[in-house]
Structure 1
Amino acid sequence: MADAARVDVAILGGGLAGLTLALQLRQADPGLSVTVLERRSHPAPEAAFKVGESTVEIGAHYFAETLGLREHLDAAQIRKFGFRFFFSDGRRDIDRCTEIGVSQLLPTPSWQIDRGRFENMLGERAGALGVDFRDGAMVRTVALGEGDGDHRITWTTGSDTHSLHARWVVDASGRAAILKRQLGLAEANGHDANAAWWRVDGIIDPNDWSDDPEWRARCTPPDRWRSTNHMCGPGYWFWLIPLASGAHSLGIVCDAGMHPLDGMDTHAKAMDWLRRHQPRVADSLDAAGNALMDFRFLRHFSHGCRQVFGERWALTGEAGLFLDPFYSPGSDFIAIANSYITDLVVRDRAGDAFMQHAKLYEQLYFSFYANTMTLYQDQYPLFGDEQVMPVKVIWDYTFYWALLAPVFFAGRIADIPMYARLRPLFERCSALNAALQPLLREWGERNGPAATAGPGRQLDQYLIDWFRELNRSLCDQLDDAAFDARIAANIERMGELAAEILAQARRSHPGIGDHGLQALLAPSPAGETLLAPAWYGAA
């Protein structure tokens, strides 16, 4: 074994989290020496079999603007036509089901990411920026340094053994979770869900599921296929995500208690499950004969972690935390973790004390994780409720766009004085959501499993003016005073929406509890409601 070299940062894993971190570090400080150790050989297959193709606003902004990859995204990936939800359990008449989605693109972009194509580009970009990218490298040991001492990493390529010293080591190894396992940091989070997913050759177009020209033309352009399409039912959702390489990603995600994994852990079983729960999708796959490219399943995919930032070590991506693919938060949490890690490394390189910041960033990161987890935990039984779930979708988006997304877009994710200044607003936002989620859950429980909202509805988010403006305003550049005022206005809007939802829930079920929500609400102002009656299943 040759004498060990020394680098500033060693990154274990050269997938999405590791390569984007390498780029961010080199862009923040071109003098940093960065080595990435990736066990797979590069280039990867263009349509690499990795979950996490759909981006939402934070992750998309991170890729496009923070890392400067907008040109690649526009030219080589698919501009996403937002999320789309169909309440279609057991039905073939998709054009008569309740559908939530935008009729036109919202102002702030996101993309469907073909992961193999994207990560190959990231590897090339990293190399061009001077990152030492070692593929085919199997990490064998990580000896964390004591005090101010370097860490030591050994790895093999074939029969050869190599080592290096690093001031910082970052685990971006995904579910291999090298450091997490070594340090015993794994933590259950109480969200028991499973997934099975596969890819087929060829694009699946929901517009082919209907002969109704009016239904087809409700989107401009009529490109429902570019959405992340969610086919929803009690205890589950099924995704359809198009990939730029010409394949389509399909996946079942379900509550483990309601839909056991042994009913979908092979492609044949998954197709039988689809024929029962989403027969129109199954029909289209059977008729088209799309070639199966691969298949995978994962049990108990959501997981927590007791610590993510330590003494010159860190975890990012799935090596640390993973929530749930509903609403596609994976790349968001990569963006946030990588931004915190970059800040810590740059502080350390400048000779500044950084551990106090590491502790604060970890507290913030865990709080973002805990608040986001409330959107999923114990909520899967709601997913087939076409009265409550449309309301939940609007609330969940509003929660995301009101606080966390504008903080990231404004480059303030590590702005400690801002958090101190706006702490009451953050606490109010969290409290509103913490009360609203169990209210929605009880509403669904009281509705019962057979509840429907009547004839299928076309619920167009684009037509909600304040909602569309909330999305557009993410890109506004504001000074401190204007930013603070914007956040205050966003939280006020959340309070108004929460009051309206509580009132609607009580109209449906007069005895429903308020789950502590009433104490958080100011008297509702007179005027128009924020959502039209159709969003609540009313005529």
Structure 2
Amino acid sequence: MDRKPHDAIILGGGLAGLSLAMQLKGEYPDMDIVVLERQARPLPEAAHKVGESTVEIAAHYFADTLGLRDHLESSHIRKFGFRFFFSEGQDDLADVTELGVSAVLPTPSYQIDRGILENYLGDEARRRGIDFRDGVTVKGFDIGAGEEVHTVRATTADGNVDVFHARWLLDASGRAGMIRRKFDFTRDNGHHANAVWFRIDDRLEIDGWCDDAEWKERCHPPERWRSTNHLCGPGYWVWLIPLSSGAHSVGIVADAAMHPIEKMKTFDLAVQWLEEHQPLVARQVIKRRDKLLDFAFFRHFSYSCSRMFSSDRWALTGEAGAFLDPFYSPGSDFIAIANTYITLLIGHDRRGENVAPHARLYERLFFSFYEGTLKMYRGQYNLFGDAEVLPIKVIWDYAYYWGVLCQIVFQKRLGDSAFISRMSDELLAATDLNTKVQAFFQPWHDVSDGRNRKVMLDQRDLAWFADMNSTLHDALDDDTLAQRLRDNVRMMRLLAASIVERAVDDHPSLREVAGDLIEVEGERTELFARVA
């Protein structure tokens, strides 16, 4: 029986829990950390967990904050960005609108095999002096009152019962959500969608699905398969994500009302659904039916949480707290954000400071980032088959993400209350702009013809867009960062005006719902060239 109080016990040794342990150990090398994980190692490759696509914040967090760049570069796939095809019911990708980059942008992101990564994290955690115990089932826990320690009861793989005590109790138990469920913190966030997914033990090389020479030559190198490929239609999108093991992850994510889960909740039903909506994918999957590795689904996967961080020395991270949507792959981003706030809170506690005001601030900031991102999804899935509106929405969403949230994270200002207060006007302005622009997409969609055009909309052609990506790793002092945020918010105002002007040019009736978005003086931000 283990009765010595530890500095922290982490419930769950998956991506969120192990990365939190490594971040804490890197920041506080003398910290005594125990990680309790139910699944025994080693984990299977290719068919362990979804969440294989990372974007810039998560890639930065894993590579730079945790020091895993060599592993990411050697054992996973450098991503060729996001790519979108408006291919509902289509048989030839050369005949549809494609949105993406013709060449990889400078700031890296990765396609990760969760089994490979989590096996490595478990070994690396032990190498770094973290007490990682796999094959352990947590049976219960008690939150200590006041300064009392927390207690965790667990059973090892051989049936022995252990009791652990710790100053901090950190829940990274995924959808089990031990603390969230015990205290009824789960909240409906108004975004109702479902997902099914499976892995095929073979590469689905989308580059070979089309014989059109011009189409093939649009990308350099011609490796679209390295992208997170989105095949879009009204109310849904299908993902294609390559894994370094040689397998491919395939998923269907859909608005619950427009595409009920009952029509896709088995592999055979999912294939039938794909035959109707994405026949190109169905054809490739059917050829490889004998290489199916797994199949699973989540009903109503998106949820919020009323609490994340407590002055009573407990906290939630990853899916143990709140989860948004796999579109744009924000899951690992919010692991990075929550883990950073937890690391800061523990630092305040170790210095003998009152944790309460910091816990309240960090929780408020976390949920402001969560709600701002949620606006990209909630009530927006009906746009996903619209080849006129969705490409512009994607550009806007990137600008908001790179221009605001990435700046705060990359420049290590997540917990800088003085800087956040200094920039409050700009941050509130960005939030307000995002709310208005997301709302504008709906009336635009209502009048849009959404027509597919035989074209690639190359994000590389947008100089300002590529520049935002290339400068994410700039090291900035407070004044320079403040000016960049002001410039980015100004650019977003011009971008919003450009979006509205473009829509109004084609659909004059939209001027009535544009509000003040169009009332901005200055040179309009470049969008895609008109396509006949």
Query: Smaller-chain TM-score range?
Result: over 0.9
CA contact (8 A) 1:227 1:241 kept: yes
Separation of aligned partners in 2, 1:475 and 1:484: 15
CA contact (8 A) 1:439 1:513 kept: no
Query: Which residue does the alignment assign to 1:359?
Result: 360
Query: Which residue does the alignment assign to 1:114?
Result: 113
CA contact (8 A) 1:5 1:163 kept: no
CA deviation digits over 1:21-57, x for unaligned, max 9? 0000000001110000000001111224211000000
CA contact (8 A) 2:498 2:518 kept: no
Separation of aligned partners in 1, 2:70 and 2:518: 44
Separation of aligned partners in 2, 1:531 and 1:244: 35
CA contact (8 A) 1:439 1:514 kept: no
Letter in 2 for 1:531: L
Query: Which residue does the alignment assign to 1:5?
Result: 4
Separation of aligned partners in 1, 2:347 and 2:42: 30
Relative to 1, partners in 2 of residues 1:3 and 1:89: Cα closer, same or farther, differing over 3 Å? Answer: closer
Separation of aligned partners in 1, 2:306 and 2:512: 32
CA deviation digits over 1:405-438, x for unaligned, max 9? 0110111111111110000000100000100001
- Does residue 519 of structure 1 match 2:519? no
Shift of 1:285: 2.1
Query: Which residue does the alignment assign to 1:293?
Result: 293
CA deviation digits over 1:414-464, x for unaligned, max 9? 1111110000000100000100001001111222xxx23353220000111
Separation of aligned partners in 1, 2:47 and 2:344: 31
Shift of 1:483: 0.6
CA RMSD of the aligned region, Å? 1.3
Query: Which residue does the alignment assign to 1:134?
Result: 133
Separation of aligned partners in 2, 1:290 and 1:79: 28
Query: Which residue does the alignment assign to 1:276?
Result: 276
Query: Which residue does the alignment assign to 2:491?
Result: 493
- Does residue 186 of structure 1 match 2:182? no
CA contact (8 A) 1:24 1:67 kept: yes
Separation of aligned partners in 1, 2:512 and 2:331: 31
Query: Which residue does the alignment assign to 1:461?
Result: 459
Separation of aligned partners in 2, 1:475 and 1:525: 28
Separation of aligned partners in 2, 1:452 and 1:520: 22
Shift of 1:214: 1.9
Shift of 1:290: 5.5
- Does residue 533 of structure 1 match 2:529? yes
- Structure 2 residue aligned with 1:479, among 477, 480, 485? 477
Query: Which residue does the alignment assign to 1:321?
Result: 322
Letter in 2 for 1:469: D
Q: How does 1:403-422 map to 2 (within 5 A)?
A: 403-422=404-423
CA contact (8 A) 1:171 1:315 kept: yes
Specify the SS of the correspondent of 1:533.
Answer: coil
Query: Which residue does the alignment assign to 1:443?
Result: 444
Query: Which residue does the alignment assign to 2:146?
Result: 147
Shift of 1:179: 0.6
Query: Which residue does the alignment assign to 1:396?
Result: 397
Shift of 1:508: 2.6
Q: Which runs of 5+ in 2 are unaligned?
A: none
Separation of aligned partners in 2, 1:72 and 1:503: 46
Relative to 1, partners in 2 of residues 1:486 and 1:521: Cα closer, same or farther, differing over 3 Å? Answer: farther
Relative to 1, partners in 2 of residues 1:298 and 1:289: Cα closer, same or farther, differing over 3 Å? Answer: closer
CA deviation digits over 1:193-225, x for unaligned, max 9? 000000000110111111112211211111000
CA deviation digits over 1:116-157, x for unaligned, max 9? 000011111110111111111111111000001100001001
Relative to 1, partners in 2 of residues 1:514 and 1:139: Cα closer, same or farther, differing over 3 Å? Answer: farther
Percent of paired sites with the same residue: 50
- Does residue 209 of structure 1 match 2:209? yes
TM-score normalised according to structure 2 size: 0.98
Specify the SS of the correspondent of 1:166.
Answer: strand
Shift of 1:284: 1.9
Matched residues, number: 530
Query: Which residue does the alignment assign to 1:195?
Result: 195
Shift of 1:531: 0.9
Specify the SS of the correspondent of 1:512.
Answer: helix
CA deviation digits over 1:50-108, x for unaligned, max 9? 11000000011000001010000000000000000000000011111100010101010
Specify the SS of the correspondent of 2:252.
Answer: strand
CA contact (8 A) 1:499 1:524 kept: no
Separation of aligned partners in 1, 2:472 and 2:190: 32
Separation of aligned partners in 1, 2:284 and 2:452: 26
Separation of aligned partners in 2, 1:302 and 1:249: 20
Separation of aligned partners in 2, 1:5 and 1:241: 44
Relative to 1, partners in 2 of residues 1:30 and 1:456: Cα closer, same or farther, differing over 3 Å? Answer: same
Q: Which runs of 5+ in 1 are unaligned?
A: none
Separation of aligned partners in 1, 2:154 and 2:289: 43
Query: Which residue does the alignment assign to 1:44?
Result: 43
Separation of aligned partners in 2, 1:192 and 1:454: 27
CA contact (8 A) 1:243 1:249 kept: yes
Query: Which residue does the alignment assign to 1:302?
Result: 302
Relative to 1, partners in 2 of residues 1:233 and 1:520: Cα closer, same or farther, differing over 3 Å? Answer: closer
Query: Which residue does the alignment assign to 1:221?
Result: 221
Shift of 1:514: 6.0
Letter in 2 for 1:43: P
Shift of 1:354: 1.6
Separation of aligned partners in 2, 1:309 and 1:504: 43
CA contact (8 A) 1:86 1:97 kept: yes
Most deviating of 150-159 and 453-462: 453-462
Most deviating of 208-217 and 219-228: 208-217
Q: Which ranges of 4 or more aligned residues in structure 1 deviate by more than 4 Å?
A: none
CA contact (8 A) 2:101 2:459 kept: yes
Letter in 2 for 1:137: V
Query: Which residue does the alignment assign to 2:424?
Result: 423
Specify the SS of the correspondent of 2:309.
Answer: coil
Separation of aligned partners in 2, 1:58 and 1:418: 20
CA contact (8 A) 1:502 1:514 kept: no
- Does residue 176 of structure 1 match 2:173? no
Query: Which residue does the alignment assign to 1:369?
Result: 370
Shift of 1:346: 1.5
Relative to 1, partners in 2 of residues 1:175 and 1:518: Cα closer, same or farther, differing over 3 Å? Answer: same
